[in-house]
């Protein structure tokens, strides 16, 4: 059953379960950052219009609607491998093959085919997320959920080092076909891990029918605290990451327009952001162990919103490597804090009997801004310029904070 608060203790990071969370986090994050970092840089370097690049956010449509097929993945299993491991393996192998295919296409001649391949990457990446989230929630106890989430989020972020740094640097020296093949091979650690791990012991029995897989999870969620609270919770999940998501949607083209080379972006921006994000995730887990998720959402959310203003400052300063590193580092640190608390909050809000469907519903809603609102970023920038765009993103970060008294009251935040 879902709990109202997590029984926190000192974070435990050096266990076998944490290692599995680390590898699966890397495997989950890699396809997403390929679509939102490497893809945008590839299209920009090949002369694709910024508005069209912004519209490519729509290929993330499956991340928004993955809750529609999550009951199928909860009801059925892949022979010999089980519900969680089977679907993990299918999705991971398919993502690897699709990413390797991208580099053999030309943005000028095969843009339609690129959209199709990217949509397939997004679909199977979202499918992988469904089962990885369910596996993590079922594998970890409430006492280790915060630590496991921090490890998962950190290695999820760590995966950006491949498409956002290594691949960009390689693209200055190798053809794009080789770059995408090399990037795709980084899915192998996740595939090997999936073959080695066992099905989670806390997993509830598979639903006997698709009706049970669909109706019971939604019924439990709406009846837990009533319809009103359910709607407040869904609104909060939708809004909490809206401003940050839009601010980073076309960050790579932003850096390139300021005059930074792809190698500079790979070495400075991505590395500064990566390590700061990892530090934020680890400190976020330690902080949550002391304060609880609720207060972490308040404090980290405020830091996350304020950090967006750094991009506006960078837009004014222009081509400056030191400023780029500081701005990206501060923003990534704050987002590392916020993402750890937010992901733990989502995991805490699920009932372990209906993990896949409820987790998919919550995380689908969380990425709606990334899919639909981010598609408009190119048009907004073309009319407002980068400075005003980032101010708008800061303002859009505030509504989610205003819902915290409803869904995560400060006074109810003390950990047990």
Confidence class of residue 97 from pLDDT cuts 50, 70 and 90?
very high
Q: Is residue 6 pLDDT above 50, yes or no? A: no
Angle at 366 between CA 361 and CA 368, to 5 degrees: 95
Inside any domain, residue 305? yes
Instruction: Output the CA angle 15-17-18, nearest 5 degrees.
Output: 65
Query: Is there a domain that residue 10 lies in?
Result: no
CB 342 within 8 A of CB 241: yes
What value does the mean pLDDT take over residues 51-71?
Answer: 75
Most confident of 60-69, 175-184, 335-344, 364-373: 175-184
What is the mean pLDDT of the segment spanning 273-298?
A: 82
Report how many domains make up the chain: 1
Domain with 178 in it: 16-412
Measured CA to CA, the distance from residue 344 to residue 291 in angstroms comes to 13
Residue 322, domain CATH? 1.20.1250.20
Task: Please tell me the predicted confidence (pLDDT) of residue 88.
Answer: 93
Mean pLDDT in residue range 242-259:
84
The answer to the question of residue 7 being in a domain is no
Is the Cβ–Cβ distance between 31 and 125 less than 8 Å? yes
CA distance 36 to 188: 21
Asked whether residue 187 carries a pLDDT value surpassing 90, the answer given is yes
Q: What are the structure tokens assigned to 126, written together?
A: 């979202």
What is residue 3's predicted lDDT score, i.e. its pLDDT? 42
pLDDT for res 252:
78
Residue 378, domain member (yes or no): yes
Give the CA-trace dihedral at 242, 247, 248, 250, to 10 degrees.
Answer: 120
Q: 6 in a domain, yes or no?
A: no
Where do the DSSP E strands lie in 183-316?
none
- CA end-to-end span of the chain: 17
Alpha-carbon span 14 to 225, nearest angstrom: 36
The answer to whether 375 touches 58, Cβ cutoff 8 Å, is: yes
* Token output for 256: 């390139």
What 3-state class would DSSP assign to 253?
Answer: helix
- Interatomic CA distance for residues 45 and 6, integer angstroms: 47
Name residue 82's beta-bridge partners. Answer: 78
User: What integer is the mean pLDDT of 28-40?
Assistant: 88
Contacts of 155 (CB under 8 A, 6+ apart): 21, 22, 23, 25, 26, 29
Q: Is pLDDT above 80 for 345?
A: yes
Distance CA 340, CA 91 (A): 25
Q: Is the pLDDT of residue 27 over 50?
A: yes
Measured CA to CA, the distance from residue 54 to residue 378 in angstroms comes to 5
Q: Which pLDDT score is estimated for 309?
A: 93
Q: Over 70: is that where the pLDDT of 211 sits?
A: no
Looking at the predicted structure, is the pLDDT value of residue 414 above 70? no
Give the Cα separation of 331 and 280 in Å (integer): 10
Q: What percent of the chain has pLDDT over 70?
A: 86
Beta bridge partner(s), residue 78 = 82
As a whole number of angstroms, the distance between CA 165 and CA 154 comes to 16
SS3 labels along 309-353? HHHHHHHHHCCCHHHHHHHHHHHHHHHHHHHHHHHHHHHHCCCHH
pTM beyond 0.75: no
**pLDDT-derived band at 180, boundaries 50, 70, 90:** very high
Tokens of 410: 């400060």
Q: Is residue 253 part of a domain?
A: yes
Residue 237: strand, helix, or coil: helix
Per-residue pLDDT tens digits for 113-150 = 988 999 999 999 999 998 998 888 788 776 777 778 77
State the Cα–Cα distance between residues 121 and 127, nearest whole angstrom. Answer: 10
The answer to the question of residue 94 being in a domain is: yes
Q: In the predicted model, what is the mean pLDDT of residues 66-70?
A: 79
Interval 154-178 mean pLDDT: 87
81-107 average pLDDT score: 90
Of 151, 190, 168, give the one whose Cα is nearest residue 336: 151
Tens digits of per-residue pLDDT, 391-408?
999 999 999 899 999 888
Phi and psi at residue 225, to the nearest 5°: -130, 15
CA dihedral over 300, 153, 96, 139, signed as positive or negative: negative
Give the CB-side neighbour count of residue 31, counting CA atoms within 13 A.
Answer: 33
Percent of the chain with pLDDT over 90: 23
At residue 5, the pLDDT reads 43
What is the predicted pLDDT for the residue at 412? 63
For residues 257-281, average pLDDT: 78
Higher pLDDT, 284 or 268: 284
173-180 average pLDDT score? 92
pLDDT at 158: 83
Strand ranges inside 42-113, DSSP E: none
Average per-residue pLDDT in the chain?
Answer: 82
Please choose, from the candidates 137, 3, 1, 9, the residue with its C-alpha nearest in 3D space to the C-alpha of residue 415. 9
Position 337 in a domain? yes
Range from 53-67, 95-109, 245-259 carrying the lowest mean pLDDT: 53-67
Alpha-carbon gap, residue 110 to 44, rounded angstroms: 15
User: How far, in Å, CA of 41 to CA of 36, rounded?
Assistant: 9
């Amino acid at each position: 059953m879902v709990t109202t608060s997590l029984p926190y203790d000192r974070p435990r990071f050096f266990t076998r379960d944490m290692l599995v969370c680390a590898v699966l986090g890397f495997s989950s994050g890699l396809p997403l950052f390929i679509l939102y970092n490497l893809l945008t840089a590839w299209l920009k370097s090949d002369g694709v219009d910024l508005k069209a690049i912004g519209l490519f956010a729509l290929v993330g449509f499956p991340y928004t609607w993955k809750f529609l097929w999550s009951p199928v993945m909860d009801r059925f299993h892949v022979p010999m491998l089980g519900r969680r491991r089977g679907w993990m393996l299918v999705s991971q192998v398919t993502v690897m093959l699709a990413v390797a295919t991208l580099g053999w296409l030309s943005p000028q001649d095969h843009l339609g085919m690129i959209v199709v391949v990217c949509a397939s990457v997004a679909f199977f990446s979202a499918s992988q997320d469904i089962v990885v989230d369910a596996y993590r929630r079922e594998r970890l106890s409430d006492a280790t959920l915060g630590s496991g989430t921090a490890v998962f989020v950190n290695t999820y972020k760590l995966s950006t080092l491949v498409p956002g740094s290594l691949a960009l640097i390689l693209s200055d020296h190798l053809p794009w076909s080789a770059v995408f093949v090399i990037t795709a091979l980084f899915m192998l650690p996740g595939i090997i891990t999936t073959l080695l791990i066992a099905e989670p012991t806390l997993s509830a029995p598979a639903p006997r029918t698709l009706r049970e897989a669909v109706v019971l999870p939604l019924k439990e969620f709406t009846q837990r605290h009533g319809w009103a609270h359910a709607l407040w919770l869904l609104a909060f999940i939708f809004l909490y990451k809206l401003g940050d998501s839009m601010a980073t949607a076309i960050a790579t083209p932003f850096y390139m327009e300021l005059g930074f080379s792809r190698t500079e972006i790979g070495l400075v921006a991505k590395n500064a952001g990566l390590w700061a994000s990892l530090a934020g995730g680890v400190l976020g887990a330690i902080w949550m162990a002391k304060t609880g998720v609720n207060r972490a959402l308040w404090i980290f959310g405020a830091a996350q919103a304020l950090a967006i203003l750094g991009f506006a400052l960078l837009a004014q300063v222009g081509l400056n490597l030191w400023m780029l590193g500081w701005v990206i580092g501060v923003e990534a640190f704050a987002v590392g804090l916020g993402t750890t608390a937010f992901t733990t909050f989502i995991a805490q809000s699920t009932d372990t009997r209906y993990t896949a469907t409820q987790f998919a519903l919550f995380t689908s809603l969380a990425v709606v801004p990334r899919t639909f609102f981010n598609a408009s970023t190119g048009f907004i920038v073309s009319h407002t310029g980068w400075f005003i765009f980032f101010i708008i993103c800061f303002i859009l970060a505030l509504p989610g904070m205003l819902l915290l008294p409803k869904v995560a009251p400060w006074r109810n935040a003390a950990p047990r």
